[in-house]
Structure 1
């Protein structure tokens, strides 16, 4: 079925509010609203001053990646100019209810001719989307404006269509591509670019869930967060029967400018290959590359304070990190009582992602939201990323419409004015992005009050139950010398039991952890070993501070 992108965009609005919250929690002020091996700028590129704009004649302007990189590098060398233009007053005044009643007419989709797999539809500007975005079609190396008109949109009651039919739009809010993803006779929504630098995609069988961003600047850094925008898109006109499509984009904000290239191949795993050339106009405190944003309200390990018939509500249930040495880290997500930050130092990581591992409908009991169908997203570096950290921010939330989880890669260096970052990575959007992992994985994490049923409640004692399953555990008997290696900071293991569950290949680890300092979080790591051989990924958890 087609996906309704407009119905969930208030999640991005929440991140603007969340940014203010992060700044307050980390000491910042109130915020405003929310690779290539060689330098391609040295290639035979058209002049970066030769912009493709609405004034371009019908013959268009030459376009290629080298030109785009050179253009954005030149813009980064000059003071930031917001040249996206202004929306007509009637459009900028649209509120939530009015904006959601404006829909693109499917029969006006670009490339809606026989033989084309891809179709393009636009989002009407207004409400949160107050900066128009320009879209260009690239055909045989020539870019031409792809303009949209009032007749391309349906203005549903109580809006008066005649009140909009004379409005000349300077741009749109964004766009979405459709493709026969799930069946050959229907063009499903495949990927949407809407708001700032946000985009999200679908693999076969997925419903929309988490989102990606082009770039995150100073997220939870103690200073005002900056939200770069995709200001212009250049979309290659697909060939008839094509099974992939290329999109190029300009990204800009006060302190950064960047050129982006997306190569999108739909399928069971929809692959989005991303190349980016990022140039810093001014210094930043924190640069977030390949950022992901998701929603976690409550789950089996963290449902305190929610009176809900549903056992779990989340788009993602954990962060996975593949380390350079082959170790895998699984970090269950939480909805903390206060802002919670986790930083995982890495050197040339193999990848990271926000995953929805739990695919059982009975664990959600929500036949409308269908959280068991939300995609997992895996970020796989192409080439070496060097030293840095995978950063995870978890923001308190009381409603499931809010994206309150952010994860990205933070490079260790290159934060000063004039720095350049050449980035290449591959994104997988699918039900399963892990494939055949040669280590046992965490099936579930449960948490609750520590001690026994006869114990008095103790806020500084907590019990954790972790189930492991996977090929390395298959066939191991109960007498196998499997051990759980556990480490704790700001706490100690008061009780530990590891057992194989009868009649299965699942091994269950139960821990009672006592906190030392209530003012600091407790960090816990656990993994299964047989002798010195690793059997499982590393389960890691942050038990938040209580005061």
Structure 2
């Protein structure tokens, strides 16, 4: 990949026959991989592989090489590996050989030993997503983000080939390497995937820029936030909340934990957290109460969280959060990634290592209280203030940690940072019935610029909670 970066970029040419390239959405979804054809199904072991058929929007294919003893050979799928359901005519596909496929998925026994569940899927550009025990697909990861939310055209690098070590019977992990191509760079990736209650993907990426890059997003995460407790929906929907993730979580280099609730803004919203080699960041789904979603089909209450744990010194940079307005839950409108402070220049290679944690609970136990809910509404007397957008009431619930054991009259001290373009009108702290604590704030803004709020709890001059962050804009 380092040598290929010295060559001029050539856009991929579609080699799909017309009958495949012209498949409609309904036709494409009528093609299914036959489970009995899965790679390694007839062998003892913990992993099976199935391919996705090309066509429809998946016109750029990827090649799959299987390795044994360090030697990798391309595996070519053919028509007999797939089932062609109505309205398709199976005879139109029987003679086709597929030099490449749209992507693939790995299955493993996540829930019970006699059934192989989907574990991880690589499909489309550099997108992939994984599951831990008891979860359903939600947010996705990407290999890389280039010029996301800038004035320049965004690039979508893609994995053009995968090199997969054939798993042995005693292997608890599967090892996958990948080639990444884009107009601005090439890349080589290593993924070591270990299934479990929390599935981990130990990742190494080496990047070789062809050109200077304005904004390089490392370990990008993509999710959906339609509406929730902190931004009331204008939609006539029976469900109280609809989202794959409800907050951005960050562990700073000094161990401080940050929580930034997500929103569906009325206009594009960008947040920048300047950090020096943070320990971790991720998009989490903290709310696991089914009654808060009431969606028996989508089951947003079991969508996985995804935490990126950095390995080594990442230097100075910014965790960027992009929130895009959406009027539908089918759109992924949330993006988060790490942007190095150092300029990305042609010919200067980069390497990043990180561990990805996918599951219901991706955070380690802590003595710190965590934010359990954020509620926002008009300030003051609601009947009188509903038409006054300059005043807002914020209710922040904290739970867990050592403050859960305190009596109701304990002397907790809120530390509230309000910027110069706003002022704190009122603050109160009270005990909740479930043992947690609620901090209520009334804040008035003084101009139309975003108000960046910051709150944490202390006791006896010691911090006892994570830090709550919030961006209050004139439209939210």
Q: TM-score range by the shorter chain?
A: over 0.9
The answer for the alignment partner of 1:449 in structure 2 is 378
The answer for the alignment partner of 2:294 in structure 1 is 365
Displacement after TM superposition at 1:85 (Å) = 4.8
Q: Please, what is the CA RMSD of the aligned residues? A: 1.3
- The CA distance in 2 between the partners of 1:106 and 1:510, in whole Å, is 54
- The CA distance in 2 between the partners of 1:471 and 1:540, in whole Å, is 19
Tell me if structure 2 keeps the 8 A contact 1:85–1:170. no
- The CA distance in 1 between the partners of 2:112 and 2:344, in whole Å, is 46
- The CA distance in 2 between the partners of 1:233 and 1:259, in whole Å, is 10
The answer for the alignment partner of 2:397 in structure 1 is 467
- Residue 397 of structure 1, aligned match among 326, 332, 338: 326
The count of residues paired between Structure 1 and Structure 2 equals: 474
Tell me if structure 1 keeps the 8 A contact 2:370–2:401. no
Task: Provide the TM-score with structure 1 as the length reference.
Answer: 0.85
For structure 2, list consecutive stretches of 5 or more residues without a partner in the other structure: none
Name the SS for the 1:180 alignment partner: strand
CA deviation map 1:197-218 (0-9, x unaligned): 0000000011000000000000
| Residues 73-112 of structure 1 aligned to structure 2 (within 5 Å) | 73-83=2-12, 85-112=14-41
- The CA distance in 2 between the partners of 1:277 and 1:299, in whole Å, is 38
Tell me if structure 2 keeps the 8 A contact 1:414–1:420. no
- The CA distance in 2 between the partners of 1:212 and 1:546, in whole Å, is 29
The answer for the alignment partner of 1:492 in structure 2 is 423
- Residue 409 of structure 2, aligned match among 479, 487, 511: 479
Name the SS for the 1:181 alignment partner: strand
Displacement after TM superposition at 1:454 (Å) = 4.1
Tell me if structure 2 keeps the 8 A contact 1:445–1:466. yes
Displacement after TM superposition at 1:96 (Å) = 1.1
- The CA distance in 2 between the partners of 1:93 and 1:437, in whole Å, is 53
Task: Provide the TM-score with structure 2 as the length reference.
Answer: 0.97
Q: Please say which of residues 334-343 and 431-440 is displaced more in the overlay.
A: 431-440
The answer for the alignment partner of 1:207 in structure 2 is 136
- The CA distance in 1 between the partners of 2:423 and 2:16, in whole Å, is 59
Q: Please say which of residues 162-171 and 461-470 is displaced more in the overlay.
A: 162-171
- The CA distance in 1 between the partners of 2:43 and 2:181, in whole Å, is 37
- The CA distance in 2 between the partners of 1:97 and 1:303, in whole Å, is 35
The answer for the alignment partner of 1:4 in structure 2 is none
- Residue 118 of structure 1, aligned match among 37, 47, 50: 47
The answer for the alignment partner of 2:179 in structure 1 is 250
The answer for the alignment partner of 1:423 in structure 2 is 352
Displacement after TM superposition at 1:240 (Å) = 1.5
For structure 1, list consecutive stretches of 5 or more residues without a partner in the other structure: 1-71
- The CA distance in 2 between the partners of 1:319 and 1:277, in whole Å, is 26
CA deviation map 1:253-282 (0-9, x unaligned): 100100000000000010100001001100
| Residues 238-317 of structure 1 aligned to structure 2 (within 5 Å) | 238-317=167-246
The answer for the alignment partner of 1:515 in structure 2 is 445
Name the SS for the 2:355 alignment partner: strand
- The CA distance in 2 between the partners of 1:84 and 1:201, in whole Å, is 29
- The CA distance in 2 between the partners of 1:471 and 1:414, in whole Å, is 40
| Cα 1:89–1:248 shift into 2, 3 Å | same
Displacement after TM superposition at 1:516 (Å) = 1.5
Name the SS for the 1:116 alignment partner: coil
- The CA distance in 2 between the partners of 1:241 and 1:158, in whole Å, is 43
User: Displaced runs of 4+ in structure 1, greater than 3 A?
Assistant: 82-85
